[in-house]
Amino acid sequence: MVGEHDTVRLDIATRFLVPVEGDGPTILLVGAVHVGDEAYYTALQNFLDGQDLVLYEGVGGPGEGDIEPGTDEDKVLRTDRRLRFMASMVERYAEHVGEAPGALAALMANDGAVFDAVLMRKLRVASADAWGRAVNVEVDENAVITAVTSYGADGEAGGEGIDADLRYEVELDDDAAAPSLYDTIANVMGLSFQGERMLTDQATWVNSDMAWDDVAAELGEEDSATSAMLEGLLNGEDPNVVMVMKGMEQFLNASPMMRTMAKMMLVRTLGEAGPAQDAGAVLGEGFDRVIIDLRNQVVIDDLKALLDEGTDAESIAVFYGAGHMADMEERAFEQLGYEVVGGFWLPAVTLDLTQEGLSERELGLIRGQLGQ
């Protein structure tokens, strides 16, 4: 965390690692926070797009052990994510415009009022399945999109396994767009949500993480409620979580002072201790073992597989939450024989107190807390 007069800033590190002995690709440990400034995610995207391969976090991912992109199994997973994203964008369009579009062309032909340039880029990717075929839409009697589909690897209706049809329904009722934890924080604090700003569905981006079922199994029966709570919290699907998120939003929107204090707390918390470690301290050592230890080992094992196979990639980025990186760096040294040789910092969240709508009295109180 960096502090200047009337400014508080959170910087996140990227570390460059190379083999202690011999040759091998450069490994880049690219830390991230899940909510941050839009410019931060733009800089991250540009940097990561320049790497040969990106291993990224996302509980609920493949968990199949084969991290080389391009297989039909990988394309099924990518197509599933694209359809889910496309369905959510149809829902957003309907919410903003007042009616659902009748075709993908209508969805994508907007002037920026619904989707900005980042979301339009993701929409263009998601408009085709991972085999390069345009996704199909189902419409109802009112000629509005009700579902998006792909016919799988063979491109024909029906089939099993990799040839099975993939389908996501569009939910247009009032409860469909429940806010997630990160959505709520981002919206209230004027920040962006990583999941929406970063484009991960590319051939050189590969999910390297555990699946929710594996997380729940490792936590055990005693922590199954914790696993269910976390999934609902992150996805915004649990009615109780939705109620809490709405309450949080109302509370933080009560005044500029509330929002500013919450944003300062976010910057300080993320700057002084990684978010994953914080969660482990609150929810117990078993939780910390799963969230940090086991998930980090998945990444290290994937890196081992790439190095053993003699990958052609000259640069491999590991794009994970900043709280994972200290442990990840140790594992890379101990298990891969890699050491840090440099790096850089990116400003993730910048809080300018003079731009938060505070009164002179409120500004003076916060300056006092900052020791100014």
Q: What is the pLDDT of residues 49-107, one digit of tens each?
A: 999 999 998 776 544 444 455 678 878 888 888 898 888 888 888 888 888 888 888 88
Can you give the length of the chain in residues? 372
Q: What is the pLDDT of residue 64?
A: 40
User: Tell me: the pLDDT tens digits for 94-113?
Assistant: 888 888 888 888 888 866 67
Q: What is the pLDDT of residue 35?
A: 86
User: Tell me: the pLDDT tens digits for 126-184?
Assistant: 899 989 899 999 988 888 889 999 999 999 999 999 999 999 998 876 544 455 666 66
Q: What does the alpha-carbon distance between residue 314 and residue 305 come to, in Å, rounded to a whole number? A: 15
Residue pointed to by tokens 């939705």: 242
* Mean pLDDT of the residues in the chain: 79
Q: What is the pLDDT of residue 77?
A: 80
pLDDT at 199 over 80: yes
**0.95 exceeded by the pTM?**
no
Query: CA of 93: how far to CAs of 104, 119, 201, in Å?
Result: 11, 12, 21
Nearest CA-CA partner of 34 in 8, 3, 59, 67: 59
At residue 206 the predicted structure's pLDDT band, cuts being 50, 70 and 90, is confident
Buried b (16+ CB within 10 A) or exposed e, 96-134: eeeebbeebeebbebeeebbeebbeebbebbbebbbeee
Residues near 153 by beta carbon (within 8 Å), at least 6 away in sequence: 72, 75, 76, 131, 159, 162, 163
Q: Kindly report the number of other CB atoms within 10 A of residue 27's CB atom.
A: 25
At 126, is the secondary structure helix, strand, or coil? helix
Helix (H) or strand (E) holding 303: helix 295-309
Residue pointed to by tokens 């089939």: 159
Measured in degrees and rounded to the nearest 5, phi and psi for residue 160 equal: -130, 165
At 53, is the secondary structure helix, strand, or coil? strand
- Which amino acid is located at 11 in the chain? D
Measured in degrees and rounded to the nearest 5, phi and psi for residue 115 equal: -120, 130
Q: What does the alpha-carbon distance between residue 136 and residue 152 come to, in Å, rounded to a whole number? A: 11
Mean pLDDT, residues 285-302 taken together: 82
Q: What is the pLDDT of residue 62?
A: 45
**Cβ-count burial of 213 within 10 angstroms (0-12 exposed, 13-18 middle, 19+ buried)?**
exposed
At residue 307 the predicted structure's pLDDT band, cuts being 50, 70 and 90, is very high
Residue pointed to by tokens 């199909």: 136
Q: What does the alpha-carbon distance between residue 291 and residue 156 come to, in Å, rounded to a whole number? A: 40
